[in-house]
């Protein structure tokens, strides 16, 4: 039997609700953490049927749902398929929307942390109001990922993408769509707009020339002075003054994006690449999403294919254990208790229902189920 110290560490931000040290990271990861909470609720309430029933009618026949359901009366694999497909469809469609949101929140929070006097709005309407300080009659309906104001009329607009090899020409042109729509507007006196396009993953920037060309083609009709394509391609990563008060720049890689944002903030900045890396390392250490996703996937298979419900069984075994988590504020407290409870109920777990093989993995699986239960109980 493993002792308490031999369990793998786990770091669940959902169990750090009152921890001041992780506040900024929880804010940045609010969207994916929300997804992990939804997964945990699905698991502990056994609401997988609700996800299945929410599939649109097109997927019912294109993905073979209707056909598999017609065969499910006499074949458990066919009966299981609609649950399997709908669950993973739900996860991946939710995650796609949340991935970009996390990058936005990352930069909004670090800019706020760099200088508390800066205005960094969340709502589209508030971003619109800030942009109106530069462009008279600003009326673009397109959202800019991050808008920051350091003083009257001194604005940063940051458009972020994880990589540049996804999406077609429309997606590439959309990087400057907001800028293109407003360049014909009157520019307010004594204003400065730094329009920064940031591509996070420099390793996969294999469509850089195509991206730059599409940006140029999108903006060219609105230039106030002639700019050749050759000059544009050569200088966009250095920064191009499109006309008075407006500078456009393209930055590849997280370090280059941070450097440009830091330079814009100015000499009083507390933002540097090392501080950003520290935040990113904390983000990377979170176990919330992968743990909830993989366990829910395995338990869905148990429930629908094998008729086994480990969540109910766990609840039964924990009824005889006296514990109180109401005063807990940090992951370490929950983790210590989960390790202790796992050691107590492992000898009582007499069902062959765990989807892992070794004794070590079974111990960890039970402990991880307990941690997810804690998240469910406090959310």
pLDDT digits 0-9 by tens, 89-135: 999 998 887 877 888 998 998 888 888 889 999 999 999 999 988 88
The pLDDT score that the predictor gives to residue 173 is 66
If one compares 177 and 287, the residue with the highest pLDDT of the two is 287
- How sure is the predictor about 170, in pLDDT bands with cuts at 50, 70 and 90? low
**What are the chain's domains?**
4-100+285-378 (no CATH), 116-269 (3.40.1560)
If one compares 373 and 207, the residue with the highest pLDDT of the two is 373
The pLDDT score that the predictor gives to residue 5 is 63
The pLDDT score that the predictor gives to residue 1 is 37
The pLDDT score that the predictor gives to residue 3 is 45
The SS3 of residue 146 is strand
pLDDT digits 0-9 by tens, 186-200: 788 888 999 999 998
If 0-12 CB within 10 Å is exposed, 13-18 middle and 19+ buried, where does residue 291 land? buried
Please report, for the chain, how many H helices and E strands are present, in that order. Answer: 17, 7
**DSSP β-bridge partners for residue 155:** 149, 193
Lowest mean pLDDT segment, chosen from 67-76, 125-134, 203-212, 287-296: 203-212
pLDDT at 203 over 80: no
Mean of all residue pLDDT scores within the chain: 89
Task: Please give the DSSP secondary-structure letter assigned to residue 222.
Answer: G
The pLDDT score that the predictor gives to residue 231 is 95
pLDDT at 217 over 70: yes
**Secondary structure element (H or E) that encloses residue 240, with its range:** strand 240-243
């Amino acid at each position: 039997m493993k002792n308490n110290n031999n369990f793998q560490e786990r770091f669940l931000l959902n169990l750090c609700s009152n921890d001041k040290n992780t506040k900024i990271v929880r804010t940045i990861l609010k969207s994916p953490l929300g997804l992990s909470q939804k997964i945990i609720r699905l698991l502990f309430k056994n609401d997988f049927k609700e996800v299945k029933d929410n599939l649109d009618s097109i997927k019912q026949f294109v993905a073979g749902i209707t056909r598999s359901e017609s065969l499910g009366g006499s074949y458990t694999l066919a009966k299981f398929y609609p649950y399997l497909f709908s669950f993973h469809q739900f996860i991946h469609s939710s995650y796609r929307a949340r991935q970009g949101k996390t990058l936005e929140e990352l930069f909004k929070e670090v800019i706020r942390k760099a200088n508390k006097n800066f205005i960094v709005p969340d709502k589209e309407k508030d971003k619109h109001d800030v942009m109106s300080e530069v462009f008279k009659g600003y009326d673009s309906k397109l959202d800019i990922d991050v808008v920051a104001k350091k003083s009257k009329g001194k604005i940063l607009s940051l458009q972020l993408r994880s990589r540049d090899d996804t999406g077609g020409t429309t997606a590439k042109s959309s990087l400057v769509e907001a800028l293109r729509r407003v360049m014909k507007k009157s520019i307010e006196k004594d204003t400065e707009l730094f329009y920064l396009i940031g591509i996070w993953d420099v390793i996969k920037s294999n469509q850089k020339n195509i991206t730059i060309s599409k940006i140029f083609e999108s903006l060219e009709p609105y230039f106030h002075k002639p700019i050749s394509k050759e000059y544009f391609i050569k200088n966009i990563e250095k920064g191009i003054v499109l006309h008075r008060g407006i500078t456009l720049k393209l930055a590849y890689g997280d370090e280059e994006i941070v450097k440009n944002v830091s330079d814009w903030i100015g000499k009083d900045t507390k933002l540097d690449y090392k501080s950003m890396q520290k935040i990113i390392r904390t983000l990377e250490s979170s176990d919330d999403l992968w743990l909830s996703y993989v366990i829910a996937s395995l338990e869905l298979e148990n429930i629908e294919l094998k008729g086994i419900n480990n969540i109910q069984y766990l609840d039964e075994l924990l009824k005889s254990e006296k514990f109180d988590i109401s005063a807990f504020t940090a992951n370490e407290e929950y983790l210590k208790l989960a390790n202790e409870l796992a050691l107590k109920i492992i000898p009582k777990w007499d069902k062959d229902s765990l989807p892992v093989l070794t004794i070590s993995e079974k111990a960890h699986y039970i402990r991880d189920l307990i941690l997810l239960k804690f998240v469910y109980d406090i959310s």
